[in-house]
Amino acid sequence: MIGASDIAFYALSLLALVTGWRVFRTDSMVRASFLLMVSFIAVGLIMVLRAAPYIGVATVFMMAVEMMVMALFMVMFMMNPAGLNPMNMVHQERLSIAAGVIAFIGLAVAILMSELPVNPVSESKQVVHDLGIELLGNSMLIFETAGVTLLATMVGTVILSSRAGRFGAADAGSVPPGLDPGGAPAGRQPEEGEGGGHHHHHGHGHHNHGSGH
């Protein structure tokens, strides 16, 4: 009889497959990052259901942070505003399809043909506790340093990608590209009078330069 855990397993498996497929079908790099994050989170929850809580929770934490950092860097560095305008997400399609099919078949054959070990662990054994002590005993400083570095990176990325600049709006005078070649600009456009502080700063600088002469 199918129980709640079986239903959750099939639902999470379907979610992981659909979001993983949508990564290659969406036309936005930021949306692709979030779809990939959802797919990995679904896989992590499947691990939790399969009595592997440490691997599952670690996958959720690591992939959530990694995909968020990736999306933030895309917002900061991409000329395509926030990576949200349509763009081709697939390159070398034939090679990609062939590599994916070969990898899928190889992994499926390896899983079905291999004799997996059967060595159940006693329910009273504190597996997660022992693993945590093993990993974080001598490596605590490394993990903490990596965590602080990631946090600083995320904060810095948000600040650098913010629209509000030190001397006015960062998008003053800029026009977003069109969705079609030669088409009308897409998205939000700066209104008249925005970024006044920026122009005022330049004017003030020219005034001082002229008075110096």
Q: Is the pLDDT of residue 198 over 50?
A: no
Residue 80 to residue 87: CA distance in whole angstroms: 9
Output the pLDDT for position 212. 45
pLDDT band, very low/low/confident/very high, at 39 (cuts 50, 70, 90) = very high
The identity of residue 141, as a single letter, is L
Outline where 24-92 has alpha helix (H).
29-49, 53-77
Non-local (6+) Cβ contacts of 72 within 8 A are 154, 157, 158, 161
Read off the pLDDT of each residue in 82-88 and give the average, rounded to a whole number.
Answer: 63
Q: Which of 79, 17, 12 is nearest to 46 (CA)?
A: 12
Tokens of 37: 């994050």
Pair 72, 14: CB distance under 8 Å:
no
Determine what percent of the chain is predicted with pLDDT higher than 90.
Answer: 18
pLDDT digits (tens, 9 = 90+) for 124-180: 778 778 877 877 777 778 878 888 888 888 787 777 766 665 556 665 656 666 667
Name all contacts of 42-46 with Cβ < 8 Å and 24+ positions apart. Answer: 42/12, 42/13, 42/15, 42/16, 43/12, 43/16, 45/8, 45/12, 46/9, 46/12, 46/13, 46/16
pLDDT digits (tens, 9 = 90+) for 46-64: 999 888 888 888 888 888 8
